[in-house]
């Protein structure tokens, strides 16, 4: 099941108030993205994740900033990814293996940290009336890969931006694409959503 590791990490990916649209139009593209991230405390969505071989997996995404995220894969996929605010944990229930690494070592840190300074790691690839594409890559940590995030410009979304998904590219040129649907923002999300059962021993973690 470790074959899903790159697929899972690549796939992580965002938006709710109409008045925010004015602020979104008045700043630079990166400042609008930052405003959006700060405006969204929680998010739930369905996701579809496709790797470079065309393999597609689905599931549900739950996010709570700062740093908490859960990728619950579809039935039949014995894998789970959970971020507890400090680290990301991938649990492979098929082989009873747990892998853990700092959130800052993942491209997802751009989406999970609303206070991250985007100026040093991100650039705008496209900005028009309908779409905003932003690419993030830490030049000091090239081994962490690149994430390209797609926003649709939607008046009713936080800061006028609706996260559509993202594509990640790791240091080995493994590409993975996430597409989101049924996004819901600033809904109640309990901290218990980021607990998990350790397959190496009985009992919840988180």
Domain that holds residue 100: 2-190
Instruction: Quickly list DSSP for 137-161.
Output: --TT-GGG-EEEEEEEE-TTSGGGE
Task: Report if residue 198 sits inside a domain.
Answer: no
Q: What is the pLDDT of residues 26-83, one digit of tens each?
A: 579 999 999 999 999 999 999 999 988 888 999 999 999 999 999 999 999 999 999 9
Task: Report if residue 166 sits inside a domain.
Answer: yes
State how many domains the chain has.
1
Task: Report if residue 120 sits inside a domain.
Answer: yes
Would you give the DSSP letter of residue 84? Answer: E
Task: Report if residue 195 sits inside a domain.
Answer: no
Q: What is the pLDDT of residues 113-142, one digit of tens each?
A: 888 889 888 999 999 999 999 999 877 777
Task: Report if residue 203 sits inside a domain.
Answer: no
For residue 205, the model assigns a pLDDT of 63
Q: Which residue has the higher pLDDT, 74 or 170?
A: 74
The sheet with strand 87-92 has its strands ordered as 97-102, 87-92, 79-84, 68-73, 56-64, 42-51, 175-185, 161-169, 146-153, 131-136, 122-127
For residue 164, the model assigns a pLDDT of 96
What CATH code is carried by the domain that includes residue 169?
2.50.20.10
Q: Calculate the alpha carbon distances from 134 to 13, 29, 79 in Å.
A: 12, 9, 29
User: The pTM is what?
Assistant: 0.81
173 conformational bin, left if phi > 0, alpha if psi -120 to 50, beta if neither: left
Contact 124, 134 (CB under 8 A): yes
Task: Report if residue 172 sits inside a domain.
Answer: yes
Q: What is the pLDDT of residues 146-166, one digit of tens each?
A: 899 999 999 999 999 999 999
For residue 188, the model assigns a pLDDT of 96
Task: Report if residue 165 sits inside a domain.
Answer: yes
SS3 47: strand
Contact 82, 89 (CB under 8 A): yes
Backbone angles phi, psi at 75, to 5 degrees: -55, 135
Task: Report if residue 199 sits inside a domain.
Answer: no
């Amino acid at each position: 099941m470790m074959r899903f590791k790159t697929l899972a990490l690549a796939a992580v990916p965002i938006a709710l108030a109409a008045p925010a649209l004015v602020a979104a139009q008045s700043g630079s593209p990166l400042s609008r993205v930052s405003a959006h991230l700060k405006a969204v405390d929680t998010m739930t969505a369905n996701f579809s994740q496709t790797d470079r071989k065309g393999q597609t997996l689905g599931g549900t995404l739950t996010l709570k900033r700062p740093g908490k995220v859960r990728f619950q894969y579809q039935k039949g996929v014995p894998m789970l990814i959970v971020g507890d605010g400090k680290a990301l944990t991938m649990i492979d229930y098929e082989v009873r293996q747990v892998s853990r690494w700092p959130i800052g070592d993942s491209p997802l840190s751009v989406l999970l940290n609303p206070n991250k300074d985007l100026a040093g790691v991100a650039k705008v690839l496209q900005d028009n009336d309908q779409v905003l594409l932003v690419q993030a890559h830490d030049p000091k940590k090239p081994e962490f890969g690149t994430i390209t995030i797609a926003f649709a410009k939607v008046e009713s979304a936080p800061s006028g931006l609706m996260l559509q998904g993202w594509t990640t590219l790791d240091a080995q040129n493994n590409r993975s694409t996430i597409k989101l649907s049924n996004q819901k923002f600033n809904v109640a999300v309990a901290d218990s959503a980021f607990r998990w059962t350790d397959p190496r021993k009985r009992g919840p973690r988180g």
